[in-house]
Amino acid sequence: MATADAGAPPAAGRRELTYAVLLSVAGTGLALWAATRTWAVELADRPAPLPPVRGLRTGAGLLPWLPALAVVGLAGAGAVLATRGRLRRLLGGLLFLLGVAVAAGGGYGLVAAFDGEVSRQWPALCLVGGLVAAAGGLLTALRGQRWPAMGARYERPARGAPAPAGGAGPVIGRGTTDAWDALDRGEDPTVS
């Protein structure tokens, strides 16, 4: 039973990490998509025989910073996976603020008086997406320090580190001349 209890916290941490990243990705993705939809249609009158010209205004056209913040939020959600400790918590706080800003843009789209016909569904989706992303950022800021980090296999080995045990190991990292020598011998330098 001790092994089951010892395995529970890392599994819960991985689950929370997954939820936080999915919330951030889903929220900012929804907001980015909603910002590219038509929020307002303006009609410009022309001389008598010609019909009026329809001008479509997207959320990105009305609030140019909105899709930019959503893209930064998407990148930040990916960065949550690559960070750990205090840096991850700081990133979570930044994601929370980005989500709130995106939600504020959606809220502004709901109450603003744009010229022409106005669609309120896209600003509402942008508001919801921002709130969902903010929830993911808040979860990361509050609990992210306890979550597991990426394994050491993704980190660059230190210079002068000994070769891995269990044979010669991959030639990559030893130098370009060793890689060329391995190719001359007919060996694949990328396989250990």
Looking at the fold, whether 103 and 165 belong to one and the same domain comes out as: no
How far apart are alpha carbons 70 and 127 in whole angstroms? 12
Looking at the fold, whether 175 and 90 belong to one and the same domain comes out as: no
Looking at the fold, whether 86 and 14 belong to one and the same domain comes out as: yes
- Pick from 46-55, 162-171, 175-184: least confident: 162-171
What tens digit of pLDDT does each residue of 18-30 get? 899 999 999 999 9
How far apart are alpha carbons 99 and 88 in whole angstroms? 16
Looking at the fold, whether 113 and 182 belong to one and the same domain comes out as: no
Looking at the fold, whether 179 and 140 belong to one and the same domain comes out as: no
Looking at the fold, whether 138 and 165 belong to one and the same domain comes out as: no
Confidence of residue 5 (pLDDT cuts 50, 70, 90): very low
Phi-psi category of residue 116: left, alpha or beta, with phi > 0 → left and psi -120 to 50 → alpha: left
Looking at the fold, whether 102 and 146 belong to one and the same domain comes out as: yes
pLDDT at 3: 42
Alpha carbon separation from 114 to 63, 64, 98, 129, 182 (Å, rounded): 12, 15, 24, 22, 67
How far apart are alpha carbons 94 and 98 in whole angstroms? 6
50: number of Cβ within 10 Å: 8
How many CA atoms within 13 Å lie on the side-chain side of 176?
A: 0
- Provide the domain count of the chain: 2
pLDDT at 58: 86
Which domain CATH number covers 114? 1.20.140
What tens digit of pLDDT does each residue of 115-161 get? 767 788 899 999 999 999 999 999 999 988 888 877 666 566 666 65
Which pTM was predicted? 0.69
Looking at the fold, whether 22 and 107 belong to one and the same domain comes out as: yes
Residue 92 structure tokens: 């979570």
How far apart are alpha carbons 39 and 57 in whole angstroms? 6
Whole domain around residue 174: which residue ranges?
158-192
Looking at the fold, whether 19 and 60 belong to one and the same domain comes out as: yes
Token pair 């980015």 is found at 32
Looking at the fold, whether 143 and 54 belong to one and the same domain comes out as: yes
pLDDT at 149: 78
Looking at the fold, whether 129 and 190 belong to one and the same domain comes out as: no
Looking at the fold, whether 104 and 84 belong to one and the same domain comes out as: yes
What tens digit of pLDDT does each residue of 46-96 get? 788 877 777 788 888 889 999 999 999 999 999 998 888 899 999 999 999
